[in-house]
Amino acid sequence: MDQYKVYGNPIKQSKSPLIHTEFAKQTDQAIEYTSQLSELDTFEQDIAHFIKAGGKGCNVTMPFKERAFNLANKVSERAQLAQAANTLSFLEDGTIEADTTDGPGLVNDLLANGICLKGMSILLVGAGGAASGVIQPLLQSQPRMLVIANRTVSKATELAQRFGHFGNIEAKAFNELDESYDLVINSTSTSLTNELPAVPSKIFKQNAYAYDMVYGDKPTLFVEWAYQNGVKLALDGLGMLVGQAAESFYIWRNVKPDLLAVVEKLRGEL
Ligand code: ATR
């Protein structure tokens, strides 16, 4: 059986083994996927051992995403842009390929929920690591425009410059937000502390969509607030988690699993 792992520190909380095991069942793939704690000073050694033992690939989570990127001798364009990787593939000839699937994970989840980004106006709130990983895949879906708004506006401006050649992208401060959008994505960490970013409620068009990258065992504050302001559908980040795993699974196995069934199963276990 082909072996895969997820490395992180801490790792106990990882849902990746469960998700990939579900994908494998669903698609009849003979794989084994387990989680592995890596110590801060042994990550590279751990990966080398796994490759020697015949491992086919791994996911990498905090705090090793930059080190995983640096380990690779072949990197995807999106990993290059992020300077970080969450998916490594170990090829027969010794090549280590790195990719990052968080952005495609978000787009996969939006598509699985029937949200087609082509022609949409999108507002991305936040400009940290979570935001920078999703900008290119969002722009590749050909929205009409993407606005990035951040509490610290200089970070939004830097991202708009870095990704400017991929599409129509603009940076704004929260207090400059005077338009409504078809889709509003919250990439800030505010839901983790039960807060809202200080953005006006008029950002939501009537029947807009909302997406919070955070998830929990009940709707996040942002999801609730979006519904109070007339959105048609507000999703949390559980689907993005499953979506990024699905993209890794596709890279390794060349099969696309069904996301929604796995999201539902995980939701029941939160
Ligand atoms: P991550 O990797 O999760 O994106 P990060 O890189 O630390 O983490 O970024 C956190 C994001 O949440 C940033 O956009 C941050 O805004 P600032 O750049 O202004 O710090 C945003 N954020 C955190 N707390 C916030 C709050 N209370 N209101 C608005 N934005 C907040």
Catalytic residue among 65, 172, 202, 232: 65
Q: How many domains does the chain have?
A: 2
Residue 65 a catalytic site member: yes
Q: Do residues 208 and 254 both lie within one domain?
A: no
d(CA 135, CA 167) in angstroms, rounded, equals 10
Q: Do residues 12 and 91 both lie within one domain?
A: yes
Q: Do residues 77 and 6 both lie within one domain?
A: yes
136 contacts 159 by C-beta, under 8 angstroms: no
The predicted complex's ipTM stands at 0.97
The conformation of residue 43, written as its DSSP 8-state character, comes to H
DSSP 80-98: HHHT--SEEEE-TTS-EEE
Q: What is the pLDDT of residue 121?
A: 98
Q: Which two tokens stand for residue 80?
A: 């290059």
Q: Do residues 94 and 111 both lie within one domain?
A: no
pLDDT band at 183 (very low <50, low <70, confident <90, very high): very high
Annotated binding-site residues for NADP(+) read 77, 126-130, 150-155, 213, 237
Q: What is the pLDDT of residue 130?
A: 87
d(CA 198, CA 25) in angstroms, rounded, equals 43
Q: Do residues 223 and 114 both lie within one domain?
A: yes
Annotated binding-site residues read 14-16, 61, 77, 86, 102, 126-130, 150-155, 213, 215, 237, 244
Q: Do residues 161 and 84 both lie within one domain?
A: no
> Which domain does 264 fall in, by range?
2-100+241-269
Q: Do residues 190 and 263 both lie within one domain?
A: no
Q: For residue 189, which atom of ligand 1 is closest to its CA?
A: 12
Please state whether the predicted TM-score (pTM) of the whole model is above 0.95: no
Q: Do residues 223 and 264 both lie within one domain?
A: no
* pLDDT tens profile 1-56: 999 999 999 999 999 999 999 999 999 999 999 999 999 999 999 999 999 999 99
Q: What is the pLDDT of residue 83?
A: 84
Q: Do residues 86 and 108 both lie within one domain?
A: no
d(CA 160, CA 154) in angstroms, rounded, equals 10
CA 197 to ligand 1 centroid distance, Å = 9
Q: Do residues 145 and 41 both lie within one domain?
A: no
